Amino acid sequence: MPESIISIQDLNKYFYIPQEIHALKDIECEIAPGEVVVVIGPSGSGKSTFLRCLNRLEFATSGKVVVDGKEILGAGREINRIRAEVGMVFQQFNLFPHMTVLENLTMAQMTVRKRSRKEAREKGHALLKKVGIPTKHNSYPEHLSGGQQQRVAIARSLAMDPKVMLFDEPTSALDPEMIGEVLDVMKDLAKEGMTMVVVTHEMGFAREVADRVIFMDEGMILEEGTPEHFFKNPVHERTKAFLSQIL
Amino acid sequence: MSLCAGLDRPKSRKYNIFWKSVFVLVVLAVIIFVYLASKSVDYIWRWYRIPQYFFYEEQVDVRAEIQGEVVDIEKGEEETLIRIKGGDQSEEYSFPGENVLIYAGDFVYAGDILGKYKEWQAGILLQGLWLTLKVSIIGIVLGIVLGVLTGLARISENPALRWGAITYIEVIRGSPLLVQIFLWYFVAGTLINAFLAEFSLPRVPALWFGIIALAIFAGAYVAEIVRAGIQSIPRGQMEASRSLGLTYAQSMRKVILPQATKRILPPMAGQFISLIKDSSLLGVISIRELTKATREVVTSSLQPFELWIVCALLYLILTFTLSMFVQYLERRAV
C-alpha cells in the first residue's frame, strides 16, 4: 500500500445554521495516489460536504485532513498552495462568465502558478483539445452547451496540474445526452492514473471506473469496497435499499 | 422594451402610433401651458441678456509701468508693440489690436494709459459650471475609491473593518448633507485650519471641505451599492476561484469585482447624478458653483425666470452626459 495522498482521521462537521446538524460523523478514510474513489449515497447524506472538506471549501469542525502531506485544517495562507494541487469540478460548472474559455483556463495558471501568458495559452489549447472542444477557445461560457461547459471546467482544473481531482456531482446538472461526453473525459483521466474522488449518481461510471466505492448515509461511511462487492452483494441494509431504488 | 414582451399579445402598429401621439401631445400641451402662463404674468423675457453671463468682452487698459519717452510704436498685423525708454530702464508693451492712445516721442508717466483692447472673458455662469464640474468629478472619483473600500470592509470577516464600515455608512446616511457640509466647514474646517496654523502651514480652502463632504456622503451610498453587487455574484464563483488556489484578494480582483461592476453601474449612475445635483448645496459655504453663481446673477440682473431655467438646463446637460457615459460603459462590460 503506497503512502496516502489524502488521509482523513476522525472528521466531524457540524452546521449551525439554520439549525444544528451533525453533517459528518467520525469519518476515517485513506486515499492512495492513482486511486479512483466514488462516493454514493442518498441526498443529504453528507457526500458533498465530505468532498468539500477535502480542499477546505467547508471547514471541518474537528478531526484531521492531510492532503499531499500537509494538514489543511491548521494551514494559514498555505491553504492556497494546497488548493492548487487539488482540482475541483462543481455541479454547476462555475465557469467565470466574464472570461472567454481560454481565459478561464489561463487566469489561474498565470496568477497562481506564475506561468507566462504564452505557456499558459499553450497549456490551455492542449487541454481544450484533450477534452474535445479545441475550437471554442474564444467563446464565452454562456454560448456553450452544458456538457461543453463542464468539460471546460475540468480542463480549467487540470490546467493547474493537480495531484488530486474532486468531482462534486459533475453530471447532475446536465441534459441526459450530454452526460456521456463528460463521463468519457473523466474515464480517460482515470486511465491516465489521476487520483480522483467522485461524488455521483452515475452507477455505471462507478462500476466501470471506480477502484473503491464508498456508501454514505446520515453523515457516516456505512460501507466501502470494490465495485464488484458493492453491486453484487452489499452487506448493509441501507446500502441494499439504496441500490435497489436507483438500479 | 418590456421585461417579458412575449407574455402578452404583440402590440399592433396602430397601438404604438396612438400612444406615441398621446405622448407628443401631452408634451406640447405642457409647453403651451407654460408659454401662455408666462405671457399672462407680468414678466418681460430678456433672453438676449443671458449670453453675457457665459462670455463677455472686457475692456483692458494697457498702462505704462515706468516713466520715460515713447521710442517707437510698431503696428503689426494683429499686435501692437510700444517701446518706452526712461533713464537706464526700457520696457516693451505689446497687445492685440490697434487702439493706441499715444504717439511716438510722447513722454509718459507710470500709470498712463498707452492703449486699449478688448478681451473675451468667461462669465460667472460658465465659471460656476466649471466649478460644479470640477467638484463633481473629484467627488465622484473619491467617492468610488471610498465606496469600494468601504463596501469590501463591510463584508470583511474582521470586526474592526466591518463595524467601522457599518458605523460610517449609518452615520453618513442618517444625517442631512447640508448639516454635514456645515460640520465639515465650520467645525472640522476650523479645527484643521487652526491646527495647520500652529505649524504655520497654509489654510485648506473651503472648496476642499466641500469636496470632502460630498465624497464622504456619496461613498456611504456607493459602499452599499458595491456590497449588494458583490453579494449578488453566485457563491460558486468565489468557491471555484479559491479552489484553483487564488487568494481572497486575487479572487475579488479577477473574478468577483469584474462581474459585480456590470451590476453596480446602473445604481452607481443614479448615485453620481445625485452627487452632481447635491453639489448645489456647496453655495452655503461660499463655494461659487453653478447654483450660487446663478443666485448672484439673479440678484443683480433681476431675470430669475431665464436664469433659473438656464441653470436647470446646465445641470441637465451634466447629468445627462454622465448617464449616457455610464450606459456606454454598461454596454461595453461583458
Rounded Cα–Cα distance for residues B72 and B106 (Å)? 10
- Cβ contacts (< 8 Å) between B245 and chain A: which residues? 80-81, 83-85, 108, 112, 160
Above 80 in pLDDT, residue A193? yes
Rounded Cα–Cα distance for residues B164 and A61 (Å)? 29
For residue A158, how many other CB atoms are within 10 A of its CB? 21
pLDDT at position A141, please? Answer: 96
Of the listed ranges A175-184, B51-60, B281-290, the least confidently predicted one is B51-60
- Cβ contacts (< 8 Å) between B239 and chain A: which residues? 57, 88, 90, 94
pLDDT at position B333, please? Answer: 72
Beta bridge partners of A65: A8
Domains of chain B: 60-120 (2.40.50.100), 124-333 (1.10.3720.10)
The alpha-helical segments, DSSP class H, found in A144-226 are 146-158, 176-191, 203-209
- Mapped onto helix, strand or coil, the DSSP state of residue B64 is coil
**Residue with grid cell 470583511, as numbered in its chain:** B156
Q: Higher confidence at residue B18 or residue B49?
A: B18
- In a mutational test of the A interface, the residue from B232, B241, B243, B332 whose CB has the highest number of chain A CBs within 10 Å is B243
Answer whether B246 sits within 8 Å of A90, measured CB to CB. no
Choose the closest CB to B237 out of A77, A96, A157: A96
- Cβ contacts (< 8 Å) between B262 and chain A: which residues? 98
pLDDT at position B334, please? Answer: 58
Above 70 in pLDDT, residue B1? no
Contact in structure between B213 and B176 (CB atoms under 8 Å): no
- In a mutational test of the B interface, the residue from A55, A72, A79, A80 whose CB has the highest number of chain B CBs within 10 Å is A80
Q: Which helix (H) or strand (E) holds B110?
A: none
Average confidence score pLDDT of chain B: 92
Answer whether A80 sits within 8 Å of B246, measured CB to CB. yes
Could you read off the pLDDT of A28-51 as tens digits, one per residue? Answer: 999 999 999 999 999 989 999 999
Smallest CA–CA distance, residue B332 to chain A, in Å, is 12
Could you read off the pLDDT of B57-94 as tens digits, one per residue? Answer: 888 888 888 888 888 888 887 888 888 888 788 888 88
Q: Give the pLDDT band of residue A2 (cuts 50, 70, 90).
A: low
- Please give the grid coordinates belonging to residue B137: 468629478
Above 70 in pLDDT, residue B125? yes
Contact in structure between A125 and A47 (CB atoms under 8 Å): no
Using the Cβ of B242 and the Cβ atoms of chain A, whether some distance falls under 8 Å is answered with yes
Q: Give the pLDDT band of residue A1 (cuts 50, 70, 90).
A: very low
What is the percentage of chain B residues whose pLDDT exceeds 70?
98
CA B138 to chain centre: 9
Q: Could you tell me the pTM of the whole model?
A: 0.85
What is the percentage of chain B residues whose pLDDT exceeds 90?
69
